[in-house]
Structure 1
């Protein structure tokens, strides 16, 4: 083992990882065990928080519904550019709501502590900056920005105004991610050398074929405000209600889905990100006028670092999946692998012996230094599952956000962490459209 690896293992408290014996985390369980994950603490809601929603579409509404499950949290106002969503907001959350199509009217209110931003991606940067400048804490859906060029501005605003900002890649707050991080640090799968992720969908909503309401017209949609920071175009209901299909507003499959996988991987490994990005793909099925591929393959190179040895990552996304879709993140090491989901971790290890070298073990046996007596071997597969009643990663993500606000604390997915997950996803798009490798500096967060 070289000095670099010794330093890495010491920093990660992984002294036992150098042994050929599977760590105690696996040795204590038999092969069919369901070793449960459980959260160690609950958030104390000792301060009322008043929140507002900016962008009340599918994800924005889901975010608000989850946020309101927490104690002592109430909704005050909603902003959206479509009348139908504003009407729905009053039906869902109360007739008392202040409604507007201008998000700046939300930010002027003194009775709002935090805003949830569920707008299309091209508005994430400006609303986040304006909200923090106005003294509001921010929960912004992923990806944090629409392009790599926007990342520094959001980070600078976060540092300048001192507000809590959390980005919504909820898997980072899952018990599955937390357990995988713990197991990797314990050396259960050895040194990471490869990872892969897959995200597949097929049904029309899952492929961004969102409902276009019959009354979605220029009379009910503030189209001019919607496109005011991008290309001037005549009103197009598809570009408004199915915005993910178009580059002016969305960030393609990688910005929508790869970013989740980057977030989980970086949290588990403590990685700052890749230094080389490449992508291929194509429009294979959904030839409906969209500007982004429905099959995307990304390849990423992670360099040696203080956080981890170098490894490679492959990500795949398919909106033409006839198997009805699947999602996973697999992390592969020198001794085994982990399949990571938000509520489950499956660890598979190689058969272990008392020696890393079968030849040396055979020589020791000839010298009488090794007994012929059979040993009790640890399991080759262990499944970790959450306990019944787990409220899920989305719930815990908001719990972490609210706890940080109440205690003036920190969140894991702050703008720096979020940008390091968003950048390789956005660069994956750039690689695809430019048909070239892209080099990235993950430490200084800039193109090379």
Structure 2
């Protein structure tokens, strides 16, 4: 939607004293932008992820960052250092949503602000790139999905693996039967550093004067000023979603993209704070098992004290081989299942052994031609320097221009985050948790 149209709609709404409804504002839908038009982007939440995302976003041709909102003055000042003194900065993101020169927003706030910021942005006519996890609590999901449909705004969730050429190749290979029928997936994301465990640096000038603590808290329980909670918010469930919301959700996004599944039906999880006893209430070790209606099981693990380097990866196991994703590579190791007559044949007479083996081979031919290797390996590698972050933003801005649904819409994002939060609920309750991945409701 261009500037003139935004100004017209705003002035019309004021003249009608609020008579223009949200639905009528979007009756014709947002305007398709020409490839030559610049998409003007605003950042809401300029922390580690927000600044990193914005750096990728502005690399996409035809995108300009024009505004930043954050609750810490130091990040607002740094945003001007990064993107120019003309960038508008504010503590209150609603000032950004009121600006007619903003086409889309990138939301990278703490999790407990995701729903409200996204809903407010879409109701203001802004397209939204919303960092994962899409939800902080289950009640957030339906409202985000509904608002995206009602407003016609684009909403893409920020799990970049769904735009990755590596994961696209894995999806292609699985669908082609490269490993036969899938039965299990094992995925992990382990770390062994203080920063990896969310102990982010607190700036020396952190204070209630430089940090808008009441605005940061928002809907979270009231709490006295705490610089640790402000800058290391992932360590507390009041603001974050633990390792499940931070890391499991990436693994779910990858799993659902590659398999085409809507999600699991049952979850069992366990975990604890094994090492980082620093006041946090988020587990630093979490293990979980999930049942999928397609007939496979998913096993996930996060360990913040793994005694080694950071490690992330998938292992898909089928009845004829395995497929591993590690970094920018996909490796298929194919060893078709050998169907043998069984050990009991050796207890028969020699004549009966020959007859039984011959009958068995009529049903189950030897899978390998004589002389063929029992094991075959196929490997795919992305180009050196490839970054799925860029592709994910490129896909988002393409949707902004064309109004086509994004690669990771609100429904996909809800299913990934909803599945991840099953692990938290199961670990907390010490019981199996059921989930309907189609209706996106707890059982």
**What is the CA-CA distance between 1:47 and the residue it aligns to?**
2.8
Which residues of structure 2 form unaligned runs of 5+? Answer: 1-33, 343-354
The corresponding residue for 2:31 is none
Residue 335 of structure 2 is aligned to residue 350 of structure 1: yes
The corresponding residue for 1:89 is 79
- Aligned residues of 1:124 and 1:144 also touching (Cα < 8 A): yes
When residues 265 and 422 of structure 1 are mapped into structure 2, their CA distance, relative to the original with a 3 A threshold, is same
Secondary structure class of the residue paired with 1:440: strand
The corresponding residue for 1:276 is 266
**What is the CA-CA distance between 1:48 and the residue it aligns to?**
1.2
CA deviation digits over 1:149-196, x for unaligned, max 9?
A: 211010000110011100011111111110010011101111111111
The corresponding residue for 2:161 is 171
**What is the CA-CA distance between 1:233 and the residue it aligns to?**
1.0
- Aligned residues of 1:45 and 1:71 also touching (Cα < 8 A): no
Aligned partner (choices 293, 308, 317) of residue 332 of structure 1: 317
The corresponding residue for 1:256 is 246
Secondary structure class of the residue paired with 1:292: coil
Secondary structure class of the residue paired with 2:60: coil
**What is the CA-CA distance between 1:388 and the residue it aligns to?**
3.3
Aligned residues: 395
When residues 389 and 210 of structure 1 are mapped into structure 2, their CA distance, relative to the original with a 3 A threshold, is closer
The 2-side partners of 1:229 and 1:108 are apart by 22
Larger RCO: 1 or 2 (CA < 8 Å, sep 6+): 1
Secondary structure class of the residue paired with 2:414: helix
The corresponding residue for 1:28 is none
- What aligned pairs does 1:114-133 form with structure 2 within 5 A after superposition? 114-133=104-123
When residues 361 and 343 of structure 1 are mapped into structure 2, their CA distance, relative to the original with a 3 A threshold, is farther
The corresponding residue for 1:207 is 197
Residue 408 of structure 2 is aligned to residue 413 of structure 1: yes
TM-score computed with the length of structure 2 as normaliser: 0.85
Aligned partner (choices 380, 403, 420) of residue 384 of structure 1: 380
The 1-side partners of 2:276 and 2:206 are apart by 22
- Aligned residues of 2:321 and 2:336 also touching (Cα < 8 A): no
Larger Rg: 2
The RMSD of aligned alpha carbons is 2.2
The corresponding residue for 2:346 is none
When residues 373 and 212 of structure 1 are mapped into structure 2, their CA distance, relative to the original with a 3 A threshold, is closer
Residue 418 of structure 2 is aligned to residue 433 of structure 1: no
When residues 358 and 55 of structure 1 are mapped into structure 2, their CA distance, relative to the original with a 3 A threshold, is same
Secondary structure class of the residue paired with 1:51: strand
Moved over 6 A (4+): 358-361, 364-367
Secondary structure class of the residue paired with 2:270: strand
**What is the CA-CA distance between 1:270 and the residue it aligns to?**
0.5
Which residues of structure 1 form unaligned runs of 5+? Answer: 1-43, 304-308
The 2-side partners of 1:91 and 1:387 are apart by 32
The corresponding residue for 2:278 is 288
**What is the CA-CA distance between 1:329 and the residue it aligns to?**
1.3
**What is the CA-CA distance between 1:228 and the residue it aligns to?**
2.4
